Amino acid sequence: MVVRALRWVGAVDGFLELIDQRRLPGALVKLRCTEIEQVYEAIKTLAVRGAPAIGVAAGYGVVLGMQSCADDKNSGQGLACLAKSCDYLASARPTAVNLFWALERVRKKGDEFVAGRTGADVRSLREAILAEANAICREDIDMCRRIGENGERFIKDGSGILTHCNAGALATAGQGTALSVLFEAQKRGRKFKVYADETRPLLQGARLTAWELQQAGIDVTVICDNMAGWLMKQGRISAVITGADRIAANGDTANKVGTYSLSILAREHDIPFYVAAPSSTFDLGIQGGAEIVIEERPADEVRSFGESKVAPDGVGVYNPAFDVTEAGDIAAIITDRGVIEKPDTAKIAEHLR
């Protein structure tokens, strides 16, 4: 069973429904977002997370933002509301490029729609934005499937696969990126074991990835983040596969903090390290990983978990949400368009041409 992280319900006056990932695996709770502020909060607090899912949610969030603009307003006022909604949602999180990519798409669609019609009203503009948000959602579902089909050949019978954070259906509109590769290998009858890093401080691997894989009937074992190297030393890991939140033009890849460490460990143990991501996650405006803005999250995420304190009050905390893996340590980037082996600037440019 592949879960569905989010969906739009109804027509242009409808709402966004999404799984509250803060509550998993203890409870499967769905949030009904009827206002743009709820979508912003969901993105900011990780109720919805994963670069592709954030992009899809943002597209629908703009539709909600425009619901506050009366139908009898002119198209200029509608575009102003559109721009305000896009700017607002863009401030929710800084690293995942899909957020900005999706917002730019709906903004551009609004400009094109108004430019091509004299006297367009706000309701018809909102319908055009909803159609574009729906297109982003459909495309993500299709991209996820194709990522899995392009990468399943890397999953061999009897292999042990290590993954970090959550790059499954909960992180996308479809069946995921890194986990899509595993789902497609499973469909082809391959038997393999997955080790899911717990992924401190919010435990996305333990809470979300393990839950998804268990739901799908895939053999999964949760390990603490600091156990990965020892499993590699023991020969239990055949490959590492993760998702990505932003990929620079040269192939340097930002993903959940801890991914960089795994890439170094994989290199040391001669284990292939794969990244699975849709083509929308590439940011060709950034030449290398040093230019990627790394989000720093609240200190209390580290000082406590739920209601339990795990560090003294007031102790200093450094809590970057992401780190950057260098392209030279990536065996291949698996995308919806194919596979980029030993990625570099030229190969990526050709792949996306």
Where do the structural domains in the chain lie, given as residue ranges? 6-146, 148-352
Which pLDDT value is given to residue 70? 78
Which pLDDT value is given to residue 1? 58
148-352 shares the fold of 6-146: no
> What CA–CA distance (Å, rounded) separates 113 from 175?
31
Which pLDDT value is given to residue 96? 84
Q: Is 91 left (phi over 0), alpha (psi -120 to 50) or beta?
A: alpha
Which pLDDT value is given to residue 2? 66
User: Which of 201, 204, 193 minimizes the C-alpha distance to 234?
Assistant: 193
Q: Is 245 marked active-site? A: yes
Tokens found for residue 244: 């990505």
Which pLDDT value is given to residue 68? 87
Instruction: Please tell me the pTM assigned to this model.
Output: 0.93
Spatial contact of 176 and 208, defined as CB atoms under 8 Å apart: no
> What CA–CA distance (Å, rounded) separates 58 from 40?
8
Which pLDDT value is given to residue 243? 97
Per-residue pLDDT tens over the stretch 227-260: 999 999 999 999 999 999 999 999 999 999 999 9
Which pLDDT value is given to residue 21? 97
> What CA–CA distance (Å, rounded) separates 56 from 141?
10
Q: Is the peptide bond before 272 cis (omega within 30 degrees of 0)?
A: no
Q: Return the CATH number of the domain spanning residue range 6-146.
A: 1.20.120.420
Which member of 140, 197, 245, 252 is catalytic? 245
- Candidates 3.30.70.270, 3.40.50.10470, 3.40.50.620, 3.30.450.80; correct CATH number of 148-352? 3.40.50.10470
Q: How many residues are recorded in the chain? A: 353
Which pLDDT value is given to residue 338? 98
The enclosing H or E element of 276 equals strand 273-276
R_g of the chain computed on alpha carbons: 20
Which pLDDT value is given to residue 331? 98
Question: DSSP of 181-211, one letter per residue?
Answer: HHHHHHHTT---EEEEE--TTTTHIIIIIHH
Q: Is 15 left (phi over 0), alpha (psi -120 to 50) or beta?
A: beta
Which segments in the chain show pLDDT lower than 50? none
